[in-house]
Amino acid sequence: MVREAREGQYRTQVLIVGAGMVGMTAALDLAQRGVDVLIVEKGPLERPMVPRANHLSARTMEIFHRLGIAGKVRAKGLPDDFANDVVFVTGMSHGHELARLRIPSREKRFNSVGYIDSHWPTPQPAHRCNQMYFEPVVREEVLANPRITTIFDAQIADFEQDADGVTAKGVDEDGASFEVRADYLVGCDGGSSTIRKKIGAVFEGVDVISRNRMALIRAPQLLGRLVMEPAWMTWFIRPEGHGTVHAIDGKELWCFHCNLPDGEEDFEELDRDRIIQSVIGTDIPYEIVHTEDWYGRRLIASSFAEGRVFLAGDAAHIWIPMAGYGMNAGVADVTNLTWKLAAVENGWADPAILDSYALERRPVTTQVSKHVAKLAVVNYGVELRKDPPPALFEEGSAGDAERAKASQFLIDANMGQFNCAGLNFGAVYESGIVVPDGEDAPPFELADYVPSTVPGCRTPYFTLADGASLYDQMGLGFTLLRTDPSVDVGPVVAAAGQRGVPLTVLDIDAVQAGGLYDHKLVLSRPDQYVAWRGDAVPEDALALIDTVRGARPGAAQGQGGSASMAAVE
């Protein structure tokens, strides 16, 4: 439990600044691993929810499943039978459907076939739901967790760190000061992060890729007046402008994002209402519930960590929300970090393991940001959107031909972002706690994902013969996956025991795994990424365990590995 030594003074293991989705996920993961957390959030506990993220990636849902909240989150959002399709149109109650990407509704989500993402190797498919609905679920879990203490309506104004911890100075809504002493601090405080500025990190990249006007509207008549099947996301192209619409509740709430023309910097120059009315139909009434103007960017912090202080989520990176991977990347950040923090706090990892966080996550987020920026250029930088041909809106053969051409372009340009298995599962980590063996990992692509046991890759997923999830059998610590039960893994088990490293040995069937496991032994980390593989136990099993727990930092970098552990000798 977080201790309050005396009024206004707190002692905790990890201080998290920011109670958004990234900060709350970090807190839940740390708490699950036995670590006490204090969250300080500048906003109030009770606040109106407005549209933010609209998509929980498959990887995020895998993490939520481990945290025990996937089912509760998946129950929220659109009605069970509401298609999660992405559709491209010239109008919603009029006009033409140009193209459609099929994504199943919630009731068809599991074991689905025939959809663009039906083939993904995951026990937890993506979930299309607005943050208005899933964030309260996560907040409720945080507030109910005895290891997590929260302070809302308060800000961390300053902090200092020393060899033993971090001392943070805070101010609450009444102007009263308080102090937090923590072993570590994680800044999840958004794009204007105080924590980022305090450690001297700066954003680098492209400050403005797009300018957008958002409006959440209530239009009760629209759903019944659609001239096409409903869809989770609708992209519109109109003479008046272009942008996207999200179905929020599947009944009457719709969120519009209207894109400003190139070179236009004044948001007020874009008539948002005129565009909305042209898309939904001039005779359909609507009410504006909330508005906001926002920029699409591609920015990465120059540093993700300094000493005992770490950055995650928007505090570390911001990019235009193509492929729906902004918040999800923040969740991936903290679940790379939290198992390492917990390992140090629980005494079985060397503090040097924490150096691997920035080494692993910063290159990955840089790659993601580039994938996303390319999607923005392809979608926003074309004449079809900026100056659509008049024939696109006309009846007859000329219009049909123009729409057919547009349809093919839109499918080709966007299939990757909505069928982005590579973005979900293809990240590759390189650091001193991953033991390379000379084989290159598959490339980290937007759409294509090639499962691999190359160290640094996501541990390949498959369903066990009894229908159970592989990941459910792997637990919270390291797992030594063994395809040949005759291989004696006693030395590794003994070495892990000597160092206090939690290790599960799990025998799997290589044939059942579809040939994904071509080594007899694969050591999977607590975050389900491969740390090492081989066909025999290494000669120095203790060196292997010390490497993956960060006690031999850098020992594995730049060298080929083998079963003899040449990489860590």
Query: What is the reported pLDDT for 1?
Result: 57
Query: What is the reported pLDDT for 2?
Result: 66
What letter does residue 94 receive in the DSSP assignment? S
Chain segment 38-51, per-residue pLDDT in tens: 999 999 998 888 99
- Cα Rg of the chain, angstroms: 25
Chain segment 61-102, per-residue pLDDT in tens: 999 999 999 999 999 999 999 999 999 999 999 999 999 999
> For residue 515, is pLDDT > 70?
yes
Query: What is the reported pLDDT for 114?
Result: 94
Query: What is the reported pLDDT for 540?
Result: 96
Whether the model pTM is above 0.75:
yes
> For residue 52, is pLDDT > 80?
yes
The mean pLDDT value for 389-414 works out to 96
Instruction: Answer for the pair 415, 422: CB distance below 8 angstroms, yes or no.
Output: no
What letter does residue 76 receive in the DSSP assignment? S
> For residue 553, is pLDDT > 70?
no
Cβ-in-10-Å burial (0-12, 13-18, 19+) of 273 comes to middle
Query: What is the reported pLDDT for 377?
Result: 83
According to the 3-state scheme, what is the secondary structure of 465-522? CCCCECHHHCCCCEEEEECCCCCCCHHHHHHHHHHCCCEEEEECCCCCCCCCCCCCEE
Looking at per-residue pLDDT, the higher value among 72 and 552 belongs to 72
Query: What is the reported pLDDT for 320?
Result: 87
Instruction: Answer for the pair 531, 432: CB distance below 8 angstroms, yes or no.
Output: no
Chain segment 458-513, per-residue pLDDT in tens: 999 999 999 999 999 998 999 999 999 999 999 999 999 999 999 999 999 999 99
Share of the chain above pLDDT 70, in %: 96
* Cα of 180 vs its chain's centroid, Å: 29
Split at pLDDT 50, 70, 90, the class of 380 is: confident
Query: What is the reported pLDDT for 562?
Result: 32
Split at pLDDT 50, 70, 90, the class of 379 is: confident
Domain map (residue ranges) of the chain: 3-72+126-204+300-372, 426-569
Query: What is the reported pLDDT for 10?
Result: 96
> For residue 23, is pLDDT > 60?
yes
CATH of 426-569, one of 3.30.460.80, 3.40.30.120, 3.30.200.20, 3.40.50.2000: 3.40.30.120
What letter represents residue 111's amino acid?
N
The mean pLDDT value for 135-140 works out to 97
Query: What is the reported pLDDT for 8?
Result: 86
Instruction: Answer for the pair 129, 78: CB distance below 8 angstroms, yes or no.
Output: yes
Short-list 514, 343, 528, CA closest to 506: 528
CATH of 3-72+126-204+300-372, one of 3.40.50.720, 3.50.50.60, 3.20.20.140, 3.60.10.10: 3.50.50.60
Chain segment 336-375, per-residue pLDDT in tens: 999 999 999 999 999 999 999 999 999 999 999 998 888 8
The dihedrals phi and psi of 203, each to the nearest 5 degrees, come to: -75, 140
Chain segment 231-270, per-residue pLDDT in tens: 999 999 999 999 999 999 999 999 999 999 888 889 998 9
Split at pLDDT 50, 70, 90, the class of 544 is: very high
* HSE value, Cβ hemisphere, 13 Å, CA-based, for 205: 25
Q: Can you tell me which residue has the tokens 């929220």?
A: 76
The mean pLDDT value for 30-57 works out to 95
Query: What is the reported pLDDT for 564?
Result: 32
Instruction: Answer for the pair 360, 430: CB distance below 8 angstroms, yes or no.
Output: yes
Chain segment 150-163, per-residue pLDDT in tens: 999 999 999 999 99
Chain segment 92-112, per-residue pLDDT in tens: 999 999 999 999 999 999 988
Short-list 171, 168, 194, 198, CA closest to 180: 168
Chain segment 3-15, per-residue pLDDT in tens: 654 568 999 999 9
> For residue 559, is pLDDT > 80?
no
Distance from C-alpha of 172 to C-alpha of 179, rounded to nearest angstrom: 11
